[in-house]
Amino acid sequence: MSVVPTTAASAGPVLVIGSGLLGASIGLGLRHLGVEVVLRDSSPTTEAVAQDIGAGRSERAALAAGAVLPEPALVVVAAPPDVVAELVVRALTEHPDAVVLDIASVKAPVLDAVRAAGADLTRYVGTHPMAGREKSGPVAARGELFTSMPWVISPGEDTGAAAIAAARNLAVDLGATVTVMEPREHDETVALISHLPQVMSSLLASRLQDTPLHHLSLAGQGLRDTTRIAGSDPGLWVQILAANAQPVLDSLHAVRADLERLIATLERPGADGARLDIARLMAEGNAGRARIPGKHGGAPTAFATLTVAVDDTPGQIARLLTEIGEIGVNLEDMRLEHSPGQPVGLVTASVEPSRHADLVEELQTRGWKVVQ
């Protein structure tokens, strides 16, 4: 493996325990910066593949060749939630001079288990990079996976300053945006913004199991949007939901209250105040959605949208985007869907309201069909 000049704040060597999507992506990002990375995984194949893609040096292969591996300055535990605490405790014992951090999606249970084991908490810090892909394993790894994504650092009361600094350096080196949260606050937050959406998406998608296919052929983008994450790995989510059960349960109780309110209203839709209550429920949803940060994490922005019909042939979307750029309009967001039964796609573009009318007129002049 070629030596790259180090341009990172993270001190190596770094031992990454777990060579799946996140672990291998961390390895790729650090190797790109010239940091020495050693990979360890319970699966010899996964570890070997991660080495083959350039994420680091296989510990198993190095030891088999008789190599003496240097002591790590940092250990990153990138393993499933149900084994994270055990691996953190083992790493703290095996590497007494290293900072150990984990990247599990729950923080308080891991910290509690590490504390109960009597491990050195000054060298341990929990973190959670809010990044991922729909694919898993090292073959899906990307060195830029964490770029501009949130990376939460959740130190405990006993976490040392050096451990916090090491975690921050790692996140910044990989291009992430650092947020510091107390472990239980983190777990309550992700229960609402990450774990609850997964549950709701899966519950909705489960209603489709026995739906006739000719009914599903009528589905629009709304159904696809709300069920997209229902394709997630069930095994992983069993671990996540079990580890963060109480915060998720609190959110589900709140949703149940809203559902019961809506059910009671729809049971008597003609009663006095029923339509008003439905309108309020929808308005409350509008208000909540409006609070989600907008572009670059700033305040939510109301963009104007237009939908353009695009022939389903190679190069058409690229041509549309090129021409929007030539017109001098910055594309804020874009969504693509297909028109059912038609050989065309529908590109919905979001732009600054002040440029909407000009863009529609110019695209129509250039021969594009703006359908709304």
Give the pLDDT confidence of 60-117 residue by residue, as tens digits.
999 999 999 999 999 999 999 999 999 999 999 999 999 999 999 999 999 999 999 9
Report the CATH superfamily, name and number, of domain 189-290.
6-phosphogluconate dehydrogenase C-terminal like domain (1.10.3660.10)
CA–CA gap between residue 60 and residue 42 (Å, rounded): 10
pLDDT digits (tens, 9 = 90+) for 292-317: 886 555 555 678 888 888 888 888 88
Q: 109 — phi, psi (to 5°)?
A: -60, -35
Task: Work out the average pLDDT over 170-199.
Answer: 96
Q: 211-270: per-residue pLDDT in tens?
A: 999 999 888 888 988 998 898 889 889 999 999 999 999 999 999 999 999 999 999 999
Quote the percentage of the chain above a pLDDT of 90: 73
User: What's the rounded Cα separation, in Å, for the pair 326 and 121?
Assistant: 56
Cα 216 to Cα 219: distance, rounded to the nearest angstrom: 5
Q: 195-231 burial, b for 16+ CB within 10 Å, e for fewer?
A: bbebbbbbeebeeeeeeeeeeeeeeeeeeeeebebbe
Check residue 287 and give its pLDDT: 93
CATH of domain 304-370: 3.30.70.260
C-alpha–C-alpha distance, residues 38 and 42, integer Å:
14
Q: Quick one: which of 361, 338, 336 has its CA closest to 350?
A: 336
Confidence tier at 1 by pLDDT (50, 70, 90) = very low
**Residues whose CB is less than 8 angstroms from the CB of residue 10 and which lie 6 or more positions away in sequence, other chains included:** 30, 33, 35, 74, 166, 169, 170, 173
- Amino acid 332: pLDDT: 85
Domains 189-290 and 304-370 share a fold: no
- The pLDDT, as a whole number, for residue 114 is 98
- Domain chopping of the chain, boundaries: 14-181, 189-290, 304-370
What does the block give as tokens for 331? Answer: 């594309």
Specify the CATH class of 14-181 in words.
alpha beta
pLDDT reported for residue 299: 54
Instruction: Assess whether pLDDT exceeds 50 at residue 5.
Output: yes
Neighbouring residues of 85: CB distance < 8 A, sequence distance ≥ 6: 109, 110, 113, 114, 117
